[in-house]
Amino acid sequence: MSKLDWDDGNRQKCARRVPLHEIEELVDDPRTLIAGDPYEGETRFRAIGHNAAGRPMFVVFTMREKDGELYVRPVSARYTHRSKDKDKDKDKDKGKSRSHISTATRSSRRFSMRRISPNTT
């Protein structure tokens, strides 16, 4: 099980959209796709998967080291919506930019995909 680094800021921000236990479950699920995130300020990753009920989820996180141990620090979390898929198809036909789901898909192609082990540094 991964250790998560919660503080008041990221706990409140993430909990507005997704229950914290679902974020923890997503990060630990071996079926979750882990991909790089193009954020330039620090090394971040994207976890893309489903909660226990099958609802699609998206979590952005970074890795932090504390007292010699590696922690997963969620930055943001949200459910993805089927309506976004429909909007993406409509926008594609109109030549508009794509939704956040297609952005996640495109970005995951640019970065190597791998599981992050809590034992790596």
What is the reported pTM?
A: 0.66
Q: Using one digit for the tens of pLDDT, what is the confidence trace for 69-118?
A: 999 999 999 999 765 545 444 545 555 443 444 444 444 433 344 454 44
Q: Using one digit for the tens of pLDDT, what is the confidence trace for 43-52?
A: 999 999 999 9
Q: What is the per-residue DSSP string for 38-52?
A: --SSS-EEEEEEE-T
The Cα–Cα gap between 67 and 57 comes to 30
Q: What is the per-residue DSSP string for 63-81?
A: EEEETTEEEEEEEEEEE--
The Cα–Cα gap between 50 and 47 comes to 10
The Cα–Cα gap between 3 and 73 comes to 9
More confident residue, 71 or 1: 71
